[in-house]
Amino acid sequence: MDTENIAFKELLDSIRLVYGYDFTDYAEASVKRRVNNFMANHKIEAIDQLAKMILKDEKVFEEFIQELSVTVTEMFRDPPFYKSLRETVLKRLATYPFIKIWVAGCATGEEVYSIAILFKEEGLLNRTLIYATDINQKSLQTAKEGMYPLENMKQHTANYQKAGGNQPFSEYYTAKYNTVMFDKSLKQNIVFAPHNLAVDKSFNEFQLIICRNVLIYFNQKLQNHVINLFYESLCPFGFFGMGNKESLLFSDKQQFFEDVDRKQKIFMKTK
Amino acid sequence: MAAHGKYEAIVIGASAGGLSALTTILGALPASFSLPVIIVQHRYRDQMNLLEEILQNKCKIQIRQVEEKEKVEAGIVYIAPPDYHLLIESDNTFSLSSDPQVSFSRPSIDVLFESAAATYRKSLIGIVLTGANKDGAAGLLAIKKAGGLTIAQSPEEAEYPYMPQAAIDKGAATLVLTLKEIQTRILNC
Ligand SMILES: C[S@@+](CC[C@H](N)C(=O)[O-])C[C@H]1O[C@@H](n2cnc3c(N)ncnc32)[C@H](O)[C@@H]1O
């Protein structure tokens, strides 16, 4: 291992010890890319210098964390996933008197509002509680506010329609200047809270867990850990939806999940 | 790994006009080609597997879309999936990311090339083909700096010269070759 790699590992170790954020089992290449970006933007030459700054100054650390987990997301991303969710999972969930959902790694919330819309349209939202979690506090704040740039709505509306939506999409939000705000009736049943999949425990039992495009950032060991966490948090016959390119391959619970829609990566806990 | 010579992998970046350029290069490779070939072709995110199917129809070597965490193996052409960045880890496995676009693209050639350069250092060949933006130039430079062999498609020949030209202007290309010459060069690896 060269000295740069050693310094990189030491940086992640000290962040874990000092701040309790554990990035040591993340897929390395993306984290390195982000660390390098952060260093370039802040004109920091060497990793040890970055480590010193981060460990000394909590503000720098906040910025660093922000950079390390900033992402883009959108409403009804991968429309066929939502279409399938509506057609296969929601029907079966309708038999429960009360439905609890966990959207893990919700980023800025577009995914959560998409799910709330699906449940509303199927007449289930008033007996549903959605827990939406992420490690990025700033993203969570945006999610809570439910305010997004107007210019994104064209794409979101197109996705909504491709996902089988047939209501006038603009009825779900009000536009003001260049911003739209999603309706209170959607927010009412959503709880936004910080939760770190790498270190925090299960906090409830759910009929549906959705965690998309988060596991790709983890190594196999952490993927397994997190899928175990989801397994423990699902009720019997609960549903689990993943991202397009994610799989249960590295999970020791693989045989306890059954395909609901193999292509759209929707599974059911069987045991 | 590098049992057959000094190189361990080839990475290729292509954008507009890439399909026909890729067909020319990959069509010449035998099924038992001694290196892995890893490709970012800018693509629409709705066409899930079309690119792989078209290429496979015209090639003897196995073509497939990358699955996250799979191991990089010789004799396979790997294509980055639509709407994800593709990176190579130091343990020779692939990873994917949903990070924001880089050079207006996801997958981005720069992202693949920079991570491949970090993993393979001088045992890497990087190739930038036809395209209408400048994705790939920074990545190719990273490969060159790490000691790898860098090639840009000759802009005169490229259907869209802008992308290989951007790489050349950045001083990232060791060689400027036509598709035929690229074919010969990599067949002799
Ligand atoms: C690419 S986004 C996915 C957003 C959304 N689920 C989607 O598919 O569009 C990845 C999210 O995972 C979050 N994340 C990363 N590590 C996490 C962890 N250990 N626990 C919880 N969330 C995490 C990031 O903050 C980011 O918001």
Q: Are B118 and A29 inside 8 Å of each other by CB?
A: yes
Instruction: Please name the CATH architecture into which domain B9-187 falls.
Output: 3-Layer(aba) Sandwich (3.40)
A32 touches chain B (CB under 8 A): yes
Digit-coded pLDDT (tens) for B62-87: 999 999 999 999 999 999 999 999 99
> What's the helix, strand, coil split of chain A in %, to 5?
50, 20, 30
Whether the per-residue pLDDT at B115 is higher than 70: the answer is yes
DSSP string for A163-185: TT--S-GGGGEEEETTEEEE-HH
Q: What is the distance between the alpha carbons of residues A37 and A40, in angstroms, rounded to a whole number? A: 5
B45 contacts B32 by C-beta, under 8 angstroms: no
Nearest CA to A139 among A237, A73, A57?
A73
- Nearest chain B residue to A31 by CA: give it: B97
Kindly report, residue by residue over A170-179, the tens digit of the pLDDT. 999 999 999 9
Torsion region of B75: left, alpha or beta (phi above 0 gives left; psi -120 to 50 gives alpha): left
pLDDT (tens digit, 9 = 90+) per residue, A152-161?
A: 999 999 999 9
- Beta carbons within 8 Å of B30's beta carbon, 6+ residues apart: B60, B61
Lowest mean pLDDT among A1-5, B108-112, B152-156: A1-5
Residue found by looking up tokens 């790498």 in the block: A198
pLDDT tens-digit readout, B80-114: 999 999 999 999 999 999 999 999 999 999 999 99
Residue A104 pLDDT level (bands cut at 50, 70, 90): very high
Q: Which of B121, B67, B100 is nearest to A220 (CA)?
A: B67
HSE (CB half, 13 Å, CA atoms) of A164? 14
* Cα separation, A261 vs B45, whole angstroms: 20
pLDDT tens per residue, range A235-256: 999 999 999 999 998 899 999 9
Among A75, A76, A82, A134, the mutation site with the greatest number of ligand 1 atoms within 8 A of its Cβ is: A134
Ligand 1 mutation target, pool A21, A78, A135, most atoms within 8 A of CB? A135
The stretch A117-124 carries a mean pLDDT of 97
Domain A79-269 has CATH 3.40.50.150: yes
**Pairwise CA distance, residues A148 & A97, whole Å:** 33
Terminal-to-terminal C-alpha distance of chain A: 43
- Report domain extents, chain A: 3-69, 79-269
Distance CA B37, CA B116 (A): 11
> In 3-state terms, what secondary structure has residue B175?
strand
Q: CB distance from A216 to chain B under 8 Å?
A: yes
Per-window interface: B 79-98 vs A, CB < 8 A: 81, 83-85, 87-90, 95-98
- Per residue in A26-70, pLDDT (tens digit) is 999 999 999 999 999 999 999 999 999 999 999 999 899 888 887
Handedness of CA B100, B104, B108, B111 (dihedral sign): negative
Q: Which of A8-22, A90-104, A207-221 has the lowest mean pLDDT?
A: A8-22
Amino acid at B21: A
Q: How is residue B131 annotated by DSSP?
A: -
Comparing A58-62, B134-138, B143-147, the range with the smallest average pLDDT is A58-62
Q: Residue B131 in contact with residue B163, Cβ under 8 Å? A: yes
Band of the pLDDT at B4, cuts 50, 70, 90?
Answer: low
Q: Report which of B92, B100, B95 is spatially closest to residue B119, judged by C-alpha positions.
A: B92
Of A72, A146, A83, nearest in space to A118 by CA: A83
ipTM metric: 0.92
Residue B2 has pLDDT above 50, yes or no: no
Residue A216 in tokens: 């790709």
Q: Is the pLDDT of residue B1 over 70?
A: no
Delimit the domains of chain B by residue range.
Answer: 9-187
**A26 residue type, one letter:** Y
Q: Is the pLDDT of residue A1 over 70?
A: no
For residue A105, is it left (φ>0), alpha (ψ between -120 and 50) or beta?
left
Say if CB B64 and CB B78 are below 8 A apart: yes
Q: How many other CB atoms sit within 10 Å of the CB of residue A134?
A: 26
Reported pTM? 0.94
Q: Categorize the per-residue pLDDT at B136 as very low, low, confident or very high, splitting at 50, 70 and 90.
A: very high
